[in-house]
Amino acid sequence: MQKKLAQLALLSWFACCGGGSDSVAGNGTWSALYGGAAGGEEMEGLWRTSDGGFLVSGSTDSYRDEAGDAWLLKITAKGAIVWQKSYGGAGNEYIIDVKETPDGGIIAAGWTASFGAGGHDFWLLRLDGAGNIEWEKTYGGAGTEQAWSVDLTRDGGFIVAGGTTSFGAGATDCWLLKLDAGGNIEWQKSYGGAADDGGGGDYNELVVRVLEDLDGNYVVATETFSFGAGDSDIWLFKVDGAGDIIWQKSYGGFDSDSLWSFQEASTGGYIVPGVSVSFSPDGSGDLWVLRLDKNGDILWQRLYGVPGYWDEAISMGATSDGGSLIGGYTEEGNADWDLFLLRLDAAGNAVWQRRYEYRWDWPNAMVELPDGGFFVVGVAWPNDQGLPEDLWVLKLAADGTIGPSCNLVQNIDLVRVETNVQPATTHASVKNTNVVPQASAAIVRNSPAVPRYLCVGPVTAPAPGEPVLTLLFLLLPWILLARMKSRGPFASLRIKKVGNSLSGH
């Protein structure tokens, strides 16, 4: 009887917290891969939904379209996939940024080569909470447009930012679209100078980020080759509700300085992580963090890096204490890329710093959780094995760990160096553009990805709102074993009745 109940206890464990689609991870920390065997996935967008789940967006070429389709997943806090869909046409598509709307729907922004006016156009999709399309539209000209950022605006519409080669003053300019709730254009403007001012760089990615700040204005972050002190500088500007510039400033030195991401701090102002060659002590390139006030003036600034290696920040999440979690990678020549996370307090001091080593890895988005932990999405690339990329998700404790048995998490020593740059006022050319949105007709397919767990940390108590019966089902067989050991006068009878009840007889 003891052996039978022990087997029942084991089965209850797998039914509750293991083996099934609801996750191996329980409610604790974990790390898992998602993707297909035939192709690769690169995920860029992340949003924590009102029900405690997560939207993850990017691109896949694993599922029927070798050119690459946009890919969107809804994942629970346990790692289970609620739903997953690809969106696309004959060309390649990408969803870079995604947000939940107040009605429980979804707004997604990226680009398409299958629809629209040019090589790549902005692509906006309004979805319901299950990922079904309510409307989809393209915005662009004869050249290339890539939307990298969308934010909800307090009037119920959207602000969209990216880079354009079709419009503006130079090779690449920033392009902002203010849309109403139906995706119709309220205003549209380009911002730039004679050279590239809307991304581009080594990877031809037109990275421009935008957010609506606490004051209701729109703040834009990218890099500029037209203005500033060196090869490329970090560039921020703030516009009002009509798209007119309030202030614009560049940040950099004699060499290359650039960024991929920024966010508003919980206490106001902006946290801007990037990479600097200008101020790197050995010229190798180091993570550079700027803390700005709402006028773009610098409150503090410093470098963090591993001497001799390229250390680049590519994502961040603002934290409730006014600090941040900075995500980046250390490039060890042609041998490896290591994902690292740097937790900073509000004053820019390191709280903890860790490396996460699987293959070639980098983090593209992250968000703080209500318990102080973090949800991080990125890319795991077994480049040394000649295999394509997968989505890599890490659900971390507040100190960046997964569990004592997870050897993916390692310590890293990032050297801190103070910098003393002064921002420079820039003089961008602002031009109205005249694009008319076009309807698109994406093919939507369900995809069959399943999580492949690499590490699972300790299981914690059920999250608020989860059924208590789950925990009771897990504990019941162990309670029965303990009572049988007590050898009460009717113990055998009680166990027999409970056992028959559980087996359905």
Give one DSSP letter per residue of 462-482, joined into a string.
PPTTS-HHHHHHHHHHHHHHH
Q: How far apart are CA 75 and CA 451, in angstroms?
A: 10
Structure tokens at 157: 């519409």
Write down the pLDDT at residue 497: 31
Structure tokens at 154: 């307090």
Helix/strand/coil for 315: strand
Burial 1-39 (b: 16+ CB within 10 A, else e): eeeebeebbeebbeebbbeeebbbbbbbbbbbbbbbeeb
Spatial CB neighbours of 54, under 8 Å, sequence gap ≥ 6:
46, 47, 48, 74, 75, 76, 77, 367, 375, 377
Write down the pLDDT at residue 25: 57
Q: How far apart are CA 393 and CA 122, in angstroms?
A: 27
Task: Look at the chain and count its residues.
Answer: 505
For 399, other C-beta atoms within 10 Å of its C-beta total 13
Q: How far apart are CA 98 and CA 48, in angstroms?
A: 10
Rounded to the nearest 10 degrees, the angle between the axes of helix 468-485 and helix 2-17 is 170
For 130, other C-beta atoms within 10 Å of its C-beta total 12
**Segments of the chain scoring below 50 in pLDDT:** 1-23, 463-505
Which of 202, 276, 264, 203 shows the shortest CA–CA distance to 233? 276
Which of 361, 324, 392, 383 shows the shortest CA–CA distance to 58? 392
Q: How far apart are CA 174 and CA 176, in angstroms?
A: 7
End-to-end CA distance of the chain: 17
Write down the pLDDT at residue 298: 98
Write down the pLDDT at residue 202: 65
Write down the pLDDT at residue 170: 84
Write down the pLDDT at residue 492: 32
Write down the pLDDT at residue 13: 38
Which segments of 231-276 are extended strands (E)?
Answer: 233-239, 245-251, 257-259, 263-264, 270-276
Write down the pLDDT at residue 11: 35
pTM value is 0.87
Phi, psi of 18 (to 5 degrees): -145, 160
List the beta bridge partners of residue 404: none
Chain segment 298-318, per-residue pLDDT in tens? 999 999 999 999 999 999 999
Query: How do the domains of the chain map onto residue ranges?
Result: 1-27+459-505, 213-357+408-426
Write down the pLDDT at residue 38: 81
Write down the pLDDT at residue 383: 73
Q: How far apart are CA 375 and CA 377, in angstroms?
A: 7
Chain segment 426-467, per-residue pLDDT in tens? 999 999 999 999 999 999 999 999 999 999 998 655 544 444
Helices then strands (H, E): number in the chain?
A: 3, 36
